């Protein structure tokens, strides 16, 4: 009887830790980053942005969260599975560090803290390093500031160029966005336990060969996006930019939900079978946690990102969100935990440097990078130390 109660209590603690992690992610990275550039450009208010991003994050978590969830739960260490105790310790370490960042006004990279903490507890409980996955993660984390910042800078310069017409540049961006949307994997289109894209689903519905169907569906959706934007830009370029900015913010918010929910749920994936809970049901619970975090804690971080790092125009805000969406969907596709704070801060800084006025806060950026590095190291050490101590006591 005592053992059964202890087991239930341990599983309950792991669930609570996962929900706490989801709340901190919603209040921090997934809740604050997607609409921060739009708020900075005065396209939407802080409170309305927090409300909308919470709903879109929930949708992304449910429809697209399986890949990163599985990666965090099973691919960070080899040879061991996370136990209720190790999952609880790792999540509490990561969530505490992120919560400190939220209340201090610094966007701590959630992926850094969760990955560091779970690798730490996994190694402490007898696991071996998953070097292949670490190389993937490290490569994406390293390239994100350079690729995201450079793409944002180039896009901002193009949008602000007097020689580049809005009715050509904006539809060009829409083509890329439409092509990516056509190939995003959704749970509702895939087989049990998998995903499939809109393009794949369209080809299947029309009984067409897969490759030609994917190409045709991708081209059709990209063309439709471009046509809509071209017509809007021809009528009112300023209004078109603000609508496109909000649309990009929505896509990034959806992508954030699909990526960040895995950081909260991944550590408890090995435990779900024992309590007869499906991954799909867990994704709904994690998505609700993100939503509550966005509604209750995100406004402070939205303000920090939209005002403290750079003063953004509509053009520079579009330039910041455009590469953010591409990087986010790349990470979701490969199942790599990625920090939306790192993505958005990098693209905001890149777009900010392209501005004729309203520069980037170099001191704020420098302190943020230091906070990211320290959070990764501290999460790894604390996770390893607490798990080692727990093993010794047991």
DSSP 64-91: H-HHHHHHHHHSSEES----HHHHHHHH
The pLDDT assigned to 7 comes to: 59
Q: Is residue 174 in a domain? A: no
Nearest to 337 by CA among 175, 112, 82, 157: 112
Helix axes 166-182, 314-334, angle to 10 degrees: 20
Radius of gyration, alpha carbons of the chain: 21
Dump pLDDT digits (tens) for 252-288. Answer: 989 988 888 888 888 888 777 776 777 778 888 888 8
Nearest to 224 by CA among 187, 199, 254, 253: 199
Query: Percent of the chain beyond pLDDT 90?
Result: 26
Beta strands at 185-186 and 128-129: parallel, antiparallel or unpaired: unpaired
**CB neighbourhood size of 110 (10 A):** 30
What is the value of pTM for the model shown?
A: 0.86
Span 113-119, average pLDDT: 92
Residue 142 contacts by C-beta under 8 Å, 6 or more apart in sequence? none
Question: What DSSP string describes 205-221?
Answer: HTT--HHHHHHHHHHHH
Q: Is residue 217 in a domain? A: no
Q: Of 11-20, 146-155, 158-167, which has the strongest mean pLDDT?
A: 146-155
Q: Is residue 281 in a domain? A: yes
Q: Is residue 219 in a domain? A: no
Confidence of residue 230 (pLDDT cuts 50, 70, 90): very high
Consecutive H or E run containing 196: strand 196-197
The pLDDT assigned to 50 comes to: 82
Nearest to 286 by CA among 85, 91, 84: 91
The pLDDT assigned to 1 comes to: 47
Helices and strands in the chain: count of H runs, count of E runs? 17, 4
Q: Is residue 112 in a domain? A: yes
CA–CA separation, 256 vs 260, rounded Å?
6
Whether residue 375 has pLDDT greater than 60: yes
Span 320-343, average pLDDT: 89
Q: How many domains does the chain have?
A: 1
Residue 321 contacts by C-beta under 8 Å, 6 or more apart in sequence? 34, 37, 38, 245, 248, 249, 251, 252, 347
CA–CA separation, 331 vs 17, rounded Å?
24
Span 241-259, average pLDDT: 90
Q: How many residues does the chain have?
A: 394
Q: Is residue 177 in a domain? A: no
Whether residue 352 has pLDDT greater than 50: yes
Q: Is residue 141 in a domain? A: yes
Higher pLDDT, 33 or 204: 204
109 in Cβ contact with 29 (< 8 Å): yes
Q: Residue 105 belongs to what domain range? A: 2-161+251-320+336-393
Residue 117 contacts by C-beta under 8 Å, 6 or more apart in sequence? 89, 90, 91, 93, 94, 379, 380, 382, 383
Consecutive H or E run containing 44: none
CA–CA separation, 6 vs 343, rounded Å?
41
Whether residue 224 has pLDDT greater than 90: yes
Beta strands at 128-129 and 196-197: parallel, antiparallel or unpaired: unpaired
Whether residue 2 has pLDDT greater than 50: no
Q: Is residue 207 in a domain? A: no
Span 234-249, average pLDDT: 90
């Amino acid at each position: 009887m005592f053992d059964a109660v202890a087991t239930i209590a341990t599983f309950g603690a792991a669930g609570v830790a996962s929900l706490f992690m989801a709340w901190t992610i919603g209040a921090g990275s997934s809740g604050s980053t997607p609409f921060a550039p739009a708020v900075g450009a005065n396209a939407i208010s802080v409170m309305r942005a927090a409300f909308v991003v919470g709903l879109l994050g929930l949708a992304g978590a449910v429809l697209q969260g399986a890949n990163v969830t599985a990666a965090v739960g099973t691919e960070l260490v080899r040879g061991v599975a996370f136990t209720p105790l190790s999952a609880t310790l790792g999540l509490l370490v990561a969530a505490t560090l992120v919560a400190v960042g939220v209340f201090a006004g610094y966007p701590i990279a959630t992926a850094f803290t969760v990955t560091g903490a779970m690798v730490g507890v996994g190694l402490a409980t007898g696991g071996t390093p998953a070097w292949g996955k670490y190389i993937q993660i490290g490569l994406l984390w390293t390239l994100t500031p350079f690729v995201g910042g450079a793409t944002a800078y180039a896009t901002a310069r193009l949008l602000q160029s007097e020689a580049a017409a809005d009715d050509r540049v904006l539809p060009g961006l829409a083509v890329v966005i439409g092509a990516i949307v056509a190939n995003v994997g959704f749970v509702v289109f895939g087989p049990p336990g998998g995903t499939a894209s809109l393009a794949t689903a369209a080809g299947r519905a029309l009984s067409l060969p897969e490759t030609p169907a994917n190409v045709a569906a991708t081209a059709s959706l990209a063309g439709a996006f471009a046509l809509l934007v071209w017509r809007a830009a021809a009528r009112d370029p300023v209004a078109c930019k603000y609508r496109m900015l909000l649309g990009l913010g929505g896509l990034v918010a959806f992508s954030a939900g699909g990526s960040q929910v895995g950081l909260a749920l991944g550590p408890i994936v090995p435990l779900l079978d024992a309590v007869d809970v499906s991954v799909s049901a867990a994704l709904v619970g994690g998505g609700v946690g993100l939503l509550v975090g966005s509604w209750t804690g995100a406004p402070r971080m939205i303000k920090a990102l939209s005002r403290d790092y750079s003063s953004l125009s509509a053009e520079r805000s579009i330039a910041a969100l455009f590469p953010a969406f591409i990087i986010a969907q790349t990470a979701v596709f490969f199942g790599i935990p990625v920090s939306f704070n790192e993505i958005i801060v990098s693209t905001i800084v890149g777009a900010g440097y392209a501005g004729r006025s309203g520069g980037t806060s170099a001191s704020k950026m420098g302190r943020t990078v230091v906070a990211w590095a320290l959070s990764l190291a501290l999460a790894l050490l604390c996770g390893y130390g607490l798990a080692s101590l727990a093993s010794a006591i047991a």
